[in-house]
Amino acid sequence: MPLNSTAAPAGRGQCQAIDLIQKIDSIDGHWQPRVVAEMNDYQFKVVKVQGEFPWHVHAETDETFVVLEGELRIAHRASTGGEGVIVLRAGQMAVVPKGIEHKPSAIAEVKMLLIEPRGVVNTGDGAPGARTVENDQWI
């Protein structure tokens, strides 16, 4: 299968070992999530990030961040005005609940796994922007 194909591989990444770091290392550029497996209606996406991502919200779903290498900061704010920052290091994860506006950022490159339902737009529910990527790109 070609790199960055939009077609899911046979088996959807199931019943096999998947080397997450190897998959991430084959991605060109930052903020370009790629699907490595599916479970029911959820996708497991690998990505490398550096710099800041725009503020965004997913009104209908939670989003899970699992850091494999590096340090990720996730600023978040609720519609009620509460704000905070989650700092994740290698081996740590966090779930950002649906409806919470958030902004991931990384000073140095971070390699991570994202878990979210199939079809979720990476930049949230607003208008597409410069960092919006096409869904269902498999690696």
Flag whether 130 is in a domain. Answer: no
Res 8: pLDDT: 61
Flag whether 126 is in a domain. Answer: no
Residue count of the chain: 139
Res 2: pLDDT: 47
The contacts of residue 74 (CB under 8 Å, 6+ apart) are 65, 85, 86, 88, 94, 96, 102, 103, 104, 105
Confidence category of residue 7, pLDDT binned at 50, 70, 90: low
CATH number at residue 55: 2.60.120.10
Q: What is the pTM of this model?
A: 0.89
Mean pLDDT of 101-124: 96
* Exposure class string for 5-26: b at 16+ Cβ within 10 A, else e: eeebbeeebeeeeeebeebbee
- Predicted confidence (pLDDT) at residue 5 exceeds the cutoff of 80: no
Flag whether 74 is in a domain. Answer: yes
pLDDT in tens, 39-80: 999 999 999 999 999 999 999 999 999 999 999 999 999 777
Regarding predicted confidence, which is higher, 55 or 81? 55
Flag whether 136 is in a domain. Answer: no
Flag whether 129 is in a domain. Answer: no
Flag whether 138 is in a domain. Answer: no
Flag whether 131 is in a domain. Answer: no
Secondary structure (3-state) at 132? coil
Whole-number percent of the chain with pLDDT over 70: 93
* Total of domains in the chain: 1
- Domain, as residue range, for 49: 10-117
Flag whether 80 is in a domain. Answer: yes
Residue for token pair 């591989």? 9
- Predicted confidence (pLDDT) at residue 96 exceeds the cutoff of 80: yes
